[in-house]
Structure 1
């Protein structure tokens, strides 16, 4: 690794890390080539390198967790997963930065991987403000998407488990606190309020870490995008014991902060009269609706299942078992037991075994089982597509293209097959052929959502945002993903007009939908009265904006 300085920028979700990263980028730091696209929750961009986000998500997924990690499992990987990424970034830029809230969970691994090259900038925000912002973000996604979800859905989980966001804040911030205390010479810690009040972050980075960033640039702060108050429901949904833990960590962070505001007290907003009207209207309407039956939650099943018992069960139960395993974290030993047990199965059971192996990145094993399926007569067109995906994953691109072509030849009307082949051609650095594949699919099938969405993303990568918008405009007018993509692209082009477009599109999406029936079904997953009321009121407020 070359001797090049690196700034690691992190903080808990919704703490203004994106604003800081935007500032660093404007000052001259390379934040990465493939950044997460702007979203209504981050209209000026996230400034997160997708490759770094993926690395962190893979480590979390490996232990059965996600970005809502709250010390529910042990998370202690070695630093090896970072080396290739760090070397690739260093080969392209003399000085660079990586920003991702998930970095908080892997600070020791980054420190081991970077050594003396790493410097760290932490942004911290009072727990009430972070939780408020998360509740606002995820209620908006649910309210406008009118998604049919259970309490395990990451959007709804923060109401189904009202303390999960607070525990996640603790998990992230405890690690920053511990790291900052252990490496005070390598850390600049700034509160969100201090950042927005003009804390001299760029000057401090230059002075303390030896950078030469541009100190004359204007901070990219927009006060209209900043809300620093939290609903009292945020506090009322948490036990006093948990609040004391949160407050204790916050006080310790303030004690070691390099930059903080003169006033770091939390700002709470009390329930308005309109909030009560929303909730009473909800209560009046849902009491007249039938009670939604509880949905059987497969996650409550014991993960340690005696698979030998499945020998006595019918094919459909075996298939359900394997399908369910695909959504769970399964260790190598357990996966090997499943593979051995179902190795002699036939038909769709064998096919689901192959898909389970593929999901768990056992691509060679999956390829063998897929070929066995084909030999035994289970030869649907999408089996060829799945084979193509496996060959692509092990970088056997010519074989991948062969099987994608077989899938297309067997079913010319499946848009996903064209998308997969185009993706493989992109991997082979053949953009012209990839574009041609999208166009062939569109000519045959029209601007179906899978084709339009993936083709538009391809065009965005070619810096052809206007053409991407033209493609999406010809796609399915009410498809949620299409509407969302249009909004995101318009945000990237001009965030102020993009926000207006977003609300227009969301109004179109929810028009004519039975919101009370949807609320009745969704709130059946929420058992805490304060959390239910909070969720309902937030949904009404989102709908009122349309």
Structure 2
């Protein structure tokens, strides 16, 4: 019998390592997986196509992965149908993981019907919040980018209740679904997994699968951060904590596996050193305070301004420069047709304008519109081999057009066999469609025709990673690094995190130290602090950043 196993749970609940376990036990979980990183050394084990699909539905409702029931979730009809069909065509038994799936459980149940099984991983709300704050404060502290001020990730400190409300929204749906469909569900707590819960055996017995029960468990207690900062509890209202506790206790009561002790473990931030606090205050006094609210800053009608400028351009070559320089933030999704209307009114027969419009639409991920414009440009007499490659990318992104995509990738390579990027894009397309062996052959072909270059070496290593041939990938990236080219060093550190964790951490820290060594940490901290209006949240953010920096010393 066909069966799809959906593994999900709130963010930072150990769904990644759980899916890693399922993968090692023989479950097919997709061919286009999100790579790992410092927060998930072994990988996220998320199918990028599915994550994008979930994100598009959240965007459809005007929200994102930080959803906390602030809006009513809407979905496009049967949005999972093509994805599920494609996965069942590839494998009769398969699995998938994405925390966002918690928000669409009824839609998944409709799409899978009796062929669906569900593994929910639960974790105490305080530990999830702690892990989110730890992860994102590290991302900020190890980047020191001014974009941090406008990042929605800073919302975890602008509104210290956000993560808690998110946890409720996700886990209420798990609870409701489990009560309605107990025969389809297994619930396991994070601590139970790290304590050796026989989850593979349970899955096989309840869902009729034949996963390898003897596979080595990837759960590593040395990588588990299981303490929560006391301020998390002090920030939340009694009412909100009561709701969180009630849902948690109900989930534990339904769990197939839980630990003997599921109580939160608490730690305290040490007080900020007085000297640091004074330096921070001095930095605050030197940073210009922005009076415009963040929402106003980020929702100013940038698309209207961009289109107004476009309307003033009268020479097609100037318009081409303007279109080629545009970014996603310049033109909103609901303005794409307005953009095309202006172009068709001003330069309906300019091949170079139509081509630039097509490239911009591809950049904006408006694939159907981009494809039509590429065809218009071709009909007007413009052609370059990269046009075939971009047409292939459009077909690749559109469901049901795999053959067309492959045709145009081959056409581009035939027209210009010396372009190494054509080989790389084609190989990634093949790998995305579970043809990793062919993809590796294409990259090897690029070596023969174009020689070994940093870009195709890195592309080969990406494919080797998918094949779990990590030593080969590490060796190739080490050789690249020894030539003095640093384009693969971050990738190398990520691979080492999977196989040589301590060496990977050392490389990651060295890269980070080099990245932030000449930046003024306190000025950056003051710019971010100006966005935080709650004392406890400001203190938490500063404390976490300082702690991250000390780890690099």
Residue by residue, what CA displacement relative to the aligned partner does 1:257-302 show, whole Å, maximum 9, x if unpaired? 33333433323222224x4458526525514633365688553336
Match of 2:299 in 1: 300
Greater shift after overlay, 381-390 or 196-205? 381-390
Match of 1:139 in 2: 137
Match of 2:425 in 1: 423
User: Aligned to 2:219, what secondary structure does the other structure show?
Assistant: coil
Q: Does 1:473 align with 2:473?
A: no
Q: Mark the CA change 1:36 to 1:392 in structure 2 (over 3 Å): closer, same or farther.
A: closer
Match of 1:206 in 2: 204
Q: Is the 8 A contact 2:307 2:339 kept in 1?
A: no
User: 1:103-502 counterparts in 2 under 5 A?
Assistant: 103-217=101-215, 219-273=217-271, 275-276=272-273, 280=277, 282-287=279-284, 289-291=286-288, 293=290, 298-301=297-300, 323=326, 326=329, 330-331=333-334, 335-346=336-347, 354-355=358-359, 357-359=361-363, 361-369=365-373, 389-390=393-394, 393=397, 395-397=404-406, 399=408, 418-424=420-426, 427=429, 429=438, 431-437=440-446, 447=454, 453-461=458-466, 463=469, 464-470=472-478, 472-474=480-482, 482-502=488-508
Greater shift after overlay, 116-125 or 344-353? 344-353
Q: Is the 8 A contact 1:441 1:451 kept in 2?
A: no
Shift of 1:476: 6.8
Unaligned runs of 5+ in 2: 431-437
Residue by residue, what CA displacement relative to the aligned partner does 1:148-179 show, whole Å, maximum 9, x if unpaired? 31444254342344333222212211111110
Q: Mark the CA change 1:323 to 1:186 in structure 2 (over 3 Å): closer, same or farther.
A: same
Q: How far apart are the structure 2 equivalents of 1:329 and 1:189? A: 41
Shift of 1:211: 3.3
Aligned CA-pair RMSD? 4.2
Q: Is the 8 A contact 1:61 1:329 kept in 2?
A: no
Q: Mark the CA change 1:236 to 1:484 in structure 2 (over 3 Å): closer, same or farther.
A: farther
Q: Mark the CA change 1:215 to 1:401 in structure 2 (over 3 Å): closer, same or farther.
A: closer
Q: Is the 8 A contact 2:446 2:456 kept in 1?
A: no
Q: Is the 8 A contact 1:36 1:50 kept in 2?
A: yes
Normalization by structure 2: what TM-score? 0.79
Q: How far apart are the structure 2 equivalents of 1:460 and 1:26? A: 14
Residue by residue, what CA displacement relative to the aligned partner does 1:284-343 show, whole Å, maximum 9, x if unpaired? 5514633365688553336996999779867899969x9576577635xx6434533443
User: Aligned to 2:530, what secondary structure does the other structure show?
Assistant: helix
User: Aligned to 2:209, what secondary structure does the other structure show?
Assistant: coil
Shift of 1:421: 4.9
Q: Is the 8 A contact 1:294 1:524 kept in 2?
A: no
Q: Is the 8 A contact 2:303 2:332 kept in 1?
A: no
Shift of 1:189: 1.7
Shift of 1:10: 0.9
Unaligned runs of 5+ in 1: none
Match of 2:434 in 1: none
Across the two proteins, how many residue pairs are aligned to each other? 528
Q: Does 1:80 align with 2:42?
A: no
Shift of 1:182: 1.0
Shift of 1:246: 2.6
Q: Mark the CA change 1:281 to 1:198 in structure 2 (over 3 Å): closer, same or farther.
A: farther
Q: Is the 8 A contact 1:22 1:220 kept in 2?
A: yes
Q: Mark the CA change 1:325 to 1:196 in structure 2 (over 3 Å): closer, same or farther.
A: closer
Residue by residue, what CA displacement relative to the aligned partner does 1:339-391 show, whole Å, maximum 9, x if unpaired? 33443245998777545533555445334545777999999998887566446
Q: Mark the CA change 1:431 to 1:144 in structure 2 (over 3 Å): closer, same or farther.
A: same
Q: How far apart are the structure 1 equivalents of 2:264 and 2:249? A: 12
Q: Mark the CA change 1:279 to 1:208 in structure 2 (over 3 Å): closer, same or farther.
A: farther
Q: How far apart are the structure 1 equivalents of 2:489 and 2:282? A: 29
Shift of 1:436: 4.5
Q: How far apart are the structure 1 equivalents of 2:482 and 2:409? A: 30
User: Aligned to 2:7, what secondary structure does the other structure show?
Assistant: strand
Match of 2:433 in 1: none
Shift of 1:141: 1.8
